[in-house]
Amino acid sequence: MADVNRGNRPLSPHLQVYRLPIAAIASIMTRITGHALVAGIVLLVWWLVAAVASPGAFAAADWVMRSWIGFIVMTGSAWALWFHALSGVRHLFYDAGYGLEIDEAKRNSWVIIVGSVVMTLISLILFFIG
């Protein structure tokens, strides 16, 4: 019993300390972004309906839209929409049988994460100079 390995054994994955692989993070973020887009679409449709309802209704919706709350919701929605769209395109490739190897899945997960941030920054720049 002298050479029994007591401290360096592999541990079974423990959910509270398990670090999710990047592909799993990209996968759950796709679901979260898709559902979180509710906030953006509700704010936008409220703003549209308020515009045809009354001057007071539009003033209220437009105030929220142009406040820091509106900025956070719309910028967050832009990022969520880009993330979900890029991930959706990846699902179309998955369905066609491409990008399913572990190394490829890791790489295209990073493409989605970095790509969504870059596209959001481009969207913000276009919004503020346009």
Partner 1 sequence: MRYITPRKAAEGLGSAHSGTAHHWAMTVSACALVLLTPAFMLVVGSAIGLPREGVAAYFGRPYPAIITALFIVVGMLHFIKGTRIMIDDYLNHTERKVAIIVSVIFGWAVIAAALFALAKMALVTIVI
Q: Which residues bind to partner 1, rule: CB under 8 A?
A: 31, 34-35, 37-38, 41-42, 44-45, 48-49, 51-52, 55, 58, 62, 65-66, 74, 78, 81-82, 85, 88-89, 91-92, 95, 123, 126-127, 130
How many Å apart are CA 90 and CA 75, to the nearest integer?
A: 23
CB 35 within 8 A of CB 82: no
Nearer to partner 1 (CB atom), residue 86 or residue 105: 86
Nearer to partner 1 (CB atom), residue 91 or residue 107: 91
How many Å apart are CA 64 and CA 48, to the nearest integer?
A: 13
CB 77 within 8 A of CB 119: no
Q: Report in angstroms how near the CB of residue 115 gets to partner 1 at its nearest.
A: 13
Residues 6+ apart with CB under 8 A from 130: none
Nearer to partner 1 (CB atom), residue 8 or residue 79: 79
Q: Report in angstroms how near the CB of residue 4 gets to partner 1 at its nearest.
A: 43
Query: Of all helices (H) and strands (E), which one includes residue 11?
Result: none
Nearer to partner 1 (CB atom), residue 21 or residue 88: 88
Q: Report in angstroms how near the CB of residue 19 gets to partner 1 at its nearest.
A: 22
How many Å apart are CA 117 and CA 69, to the nearest integer?
A: 20
